[in-house]
Structure 1
């Protein structure tokens, strides 16, 4: 797409004719400034004729090229153009025909028609860049052309062509200067005149009367058009005009208020260094009242433009050619997910066509479309369905996983360590909440250390935990013996994805004195002489990346997502083959595999299984994540999975699962029906996952989108109040609805099957002791949270279902999308963190192990070093079960204080090659 502000070569003649028209009008004013000039010098006549010859040819070409020539000729402006070119031809005729004097009617008409040249200034209207500017220019030029044209015509009609010494009223003529005539015309059409100047000729009086009536008709029409344009013109139709002052990103696709609020909260967070950035929203529809509330909160940083990303003129208004990045959001509640992905694909193509180099971050629902989107121009893709259901699937085995990931993405604006709470678990939990994932530049002075040495040094010095490295093949978990080298940047060793407590901790890496690093490296070398360590051969081939190896990393991601497409092809071929052989394999009355899956239900002996209420949109990756996850004991098989839903998946989706997964069952029914819940053997389940079945335009109140999920939770609590269920995760589309979940377990704390969190009473609860003084301190604490957190509702941070890791909120996906700009490939980092990488022979990923007896009563910092030194793994936090009054519900602690004491039942979050204490019981005894 051509740049919007650079005129093309074909427009040069048009601009030249406009300039000549304006100069010709100004030349006419200068000639007649003191009075009407009857004759022209020969050279003036030649120049005037040459210029008008050009306009005559232009008029003739327009007539010839018009579709309806008669309609064109009788048009207003074509008639004016025709009248304007006549004077030069009249002068030519008078010069070659004898008997035509200066007082003849022909030349008198010629002098009057010359004044119509001022109407040509309407060509300037074409320079307007908006409809409002066009109407304003048209109104202004209408008045200017009326005044100057009338002044010229009156000057020609009133001029004395023959000398007359009597009074003007007697001579019926007078010579007037152009300034006086301008004054006379303005006064006449505005106040009906003062009488100091008045026409004396009959034709002059007729012209003034006609102009006054004409002005009364035309000017109000123009004013009404301006008013109508202003009424229809909103702030959303203007173009982005601060491109030279502030770089901007373009946000397009599907918009809703909650997604925008989460996105802006993350994007404009101080830790993201986007203080000088602007966000331009390009959307085809007007913003809703809810979206307007969000826009007003970021009024100076966000501009909303109503327009389509499929139209070049709207992309020009959004200044796509100078955009720093583009985001394409998908409608994840669409009833037609494939159509929603196709829309994102088309938008991506349009954006890439308009800017070949701008990073484009897009969302898709179905993993089968991710590779296609990357091939069409997206720099990175966040696969909503695969990522969401991979997290929910792993949360059935990794307790508290949703909160662990949510808190690593959500960032607060204040140092919560400075706030005081009467409860110790508040301080420990909020200490972890302040941590986040950052892409940290490691200086060149760290070259020569191993990756394990880097973790030890940064953890001790600045409490930063490196987890993965950005390489030329993408994000990878590194072996602890991998030796850090260097990059093409003389000041950079590598880029690592690390857990850090805010931007201050990240900046502290560059402030570490080189002497400390060199001293530590020498100590490690001396130690290395005593200890033998061998680096893996494949690790030697890994090259750290600077982050600009976009093409190579994109190809690697495309290959990763292409696997999903291959499975679809295999499923389609299997389904076709099955249909061809159905007539021969099935006996009369015999059911097919799909029919048996739908109708047979669950065997009675199924126990220690996972119950899923609802079907995920990406069932394949949901089950795949559970099946590939490491088990606590090598002898225990992967748990069976039972889906409870009103309708089953279609046969094509079943074929996609049939050849890869066993022990998958389906119960047709409703989770809010006691009988249907009992059919799933829920009393013997190890995990229950409740999915939100949200679709667009289903509820009049958008906050009711989680009504089904919340109701299901209540019914499951009712049916299982005598059975203890150790794990329970519910998906919520609206973050604020988590408060309703807490109220379900208020009176069931002692008898609840799940050990569910209790009701959050803002006046009386375990949070708020009944003593008035403590209550005041608690209120002050919550107020400081509200003031300090600009990202989400801070009161939700300490909600029991969030703190215990029992709820997955879709806002996490919006936060991840926002982070893609300043933290490249962070979506890939979270993908390999949850499910591992197909290229990693060690199958490193996030897993969970229970604290063994050897670590009980030790401090967390000591346990961190034991995991690193003896298991070659990195510990990033722990999940602690409830402890009565001290800890009334389970809680997730991210990188807790080093002096936190380990207690029985604690579950460590560990990143590395999964292991179990059953297979390696003596791992911490050496």
Structure 2
């Protein structure tokens, strides 16, 4: 990129008048051609289907069956192509995931080239004369855009609803980023354009993280999704402010409303506006910039008002269910794990909270690898004085320490009565009880087993527990003595 910096003409007037309307028109023409092509294709297929349906209806009217060969002719070649491309681009296949990661990498490459440019230059790069063969950054961007265009066409062919695809966010990003790259080669000019829209690829990060199985927790993915939305809005808005105010009111003879601010200064302005602080030290001067600022403020207020409380709620819940259990002085606690559902929680809490069994201070600590759902959270708020929920697994030493196993009064493991894999649950139960026993050999362990079970899914547990003087109960409710 440094090598190509010397080829930029510092004064755009050396190349003649500004050509940004041509770049912008190429984006709109590309979008119009895609829409017109879809309309023409649908019209052609409709006419073809109508003409093919007439002989079949005539045969049926004559009382003769069209036969299997006639029915096979009704299958569309385009439908077959759409099915094949759709399977290839599907996110459930390896090829689809590979294409998705490739698309994300190429989009980030184009975005980083844009950031490298706007971080170094100001008004000289809003539109400039270039020698394309000597600009390595433009060549890399051109190759990336060709591949991205091919991926866009494949997604268009394999889309279930092509009209909905053409008005999607990914399609809009393609319209305003790829055609100017081809115009640059033809006119030997470069326009800073709307390359900032490539920041919309950040919205796909949670999906790619889920594909790679780095994070599978729904709350963390939701938190990442909200953060990427906020970051995308800031980066895209800063790019639009940067473009409009560097261009100024170009339709006036003496261009007014123009100010030379770097892209990152506009990022600062977008953050200040989004946070509703509004220092006012940087503000748009161009007419279009001010109009866009009004729309941005309205959208920013709505985004800020909805995002911040949700982010706060997710972070607070993460800390609430992962922090260690701290019993009050003089309070004993029992640990419960296994099949933790809202039904088992209610049954156990109601059984232990009866007046005749609340003569001493006793906390119930539920341990489960999954985060509680909305119904569980509502129930935990009702009984928060003596019920705790710790997210984790007793197979891990950190969770054993967080639940204070060495201070617990007893441990209860709830069996899954509707288990699809009894042998796996049997092994998990044995390992969990062994882990708890290793942390506290004197802890009383109880395993709840379904009384009417006809399967020998827990056949090895009674002997395993009885050797340690523990109990195995075979009825639905647990009688605490």
TM-score by length of 1: 0.28
Higher helix share: 2
Structure label with greater radius of gyration: 1
TM-score (ref. length: structure 2): 0.49
